[in-house]
Amino acid sequence: MKTPDLRPSPLAGTWYPGHPATLRADLDRYLAGVPVPRLSGQIQAVIVPHAGYLYSGAVAAHAFAWLRGLHPEVVAVVAPLHYSHPAWVLTSAHTAYLTPLGPVEIDRASVTRVAQILHEQLGREVFPLVKDPEHALEIELPFLQHLLGPFHLLPLMLRDQTWATAHAVGEALAAVLRNQSALLVASSDLSHFYPQKTAQKLDAEILRQIENLDAEGVIRAHDEGRGFACGRGAIAAVLWAACQLGANEAQVVCHATSGEVTGDFNRVVGYGAAVVSKKNP
């Protein structure tokens, strides 16, 4: 049997615990602080922050808790790429991501199909990264592993977060996932390094656009300075894909800032969590 080509974790032991038992205990602690939600529809997507668990783990848990009991076959995680790269959309070149909870196998067939659709639509390639240091995608995996059990991963990282790219990615994801048992995850923090009062105003505008299921509105709010989201393209792509797959409601389930952890309210980072669903008639 061929040895899996694992993407090693640059985060375990720093951004979150590197020991499996300690990691599971932390995840359980975050999730224990969230009341078990009453579902009135089908969960299509979650929007979650991507800071270290000390800062945003409790916020992320408010969205991830809604996934209890779900067992999707494919999970598409869409994140921004935080470092410079000439490509517009990127994915992993490996066969699996490795976390302390084990490997997460990449659904290469779905990745290839998304890449084909994007090439057909826009004539641009999805670039495969080797041993990337990007935190925004990996940070979501332990929560997903802990709650969902085994699943196949469709990883996408957006360097270009314009509406044209987000819309194309959303369309491609909807086309590929339409007849699959699937979940969408958008990874994004909110405002960066503003005073608490300003951060709350900027964050509230992004969260309002999310609750309105306005994918383009998320990007427009950021571009016009009314809101701030480092993963605005990821949020927009996931919102658009979810709506194409039947989502008709979004609910913001938690918001906080780093100041509530550090005590420094002069330069905070905002964190929001939301759940996108298809409500029953």
Euclidean distance between CA atoms 116 and 199, whole angstroms: 39
Structural domains of the chain, with CATH? 44-279 (3.40.830.10)
Model confidence at 281, pLDDT cuts 50, 70, 90, reads low
pLDDT exceeds 80 at position 44 = yes
- HSE of 270, CA atoms in CB hemisphere, 13 A: 26
pLDDT, residue 31, reads 97
**What does the pLDDT average to over 131-137?**
96
What backbone torsions phi and psi does residue 151 show, to the nearest 5 degrees? -155, 165
| Residues in a beta bridge with 275 | 46, 251
- Mean pLDDT value of segment 3-18: 93
pLDDT attached to residue 4: 72
Answer whether 0.85 is exceeded by the pTM. Answer: yes
